Chains A and B, each alone.
Chain A
Amino acid sequence: DIQMTQSPSSVSASVGDRVTITCRASQGISSWLAWYQQKPGKAPKLLIYAASSLQSGVPSRFSGSGSGTDFTLTISSLQPEDFATYYCQQANSFPLLTFGGGTKVEIK
Chain B
Amino acid sequence: QVQLQESGPGLVKPSQTLSLTCTVSGGSISSGSYYWSWIRQPAGKGLEWIGRIYTSGSTNYNPSLKSRVTISVDTSKNQFSLKLSSVTAADTAVYYCARLMVYAKGYYFDYWGQGTLVTVSS
* A19-27, A71-79, A89-97 - interface stretch: A89-97
CB <8 Å contact, A43 and B115 = yes
> Interface majority SS on A: helix, strand, loop or mixed?
loop
Is B46 interfacial (CB 8 A cutoff)? yes
CB <8 Å contact, A55 and B110 = yes
A32 to B104, CA, bound (A): 8
A89 to B41, CA, bound (A): 14
Q: Which residues of the other chain, A, contact B34 by a CB distance below 8 angstroms?
A: none
CB <8 Å contact, B105 and A89 = no
Is A66 interfacial (CB 8 A cutoff)? no
Q: Which residues of the other chain, A, contact B26 by a CB distance below 8 angstroms?
A: none
Is A31 interfacial (CB 8 A cutoff)? yes
* B8-16, B57-65, B74-82, B83-91 - interface stretch: B57-65
Which B88-122 residues have C-beta < 8 A from chain A?
Answer: 96, 98, 101, 103-110, 112-115
Chain B interface residues toward A at CB < 8 A: 46-49, 52, 60-63, 96, 98, 101, 103-110, 112-115
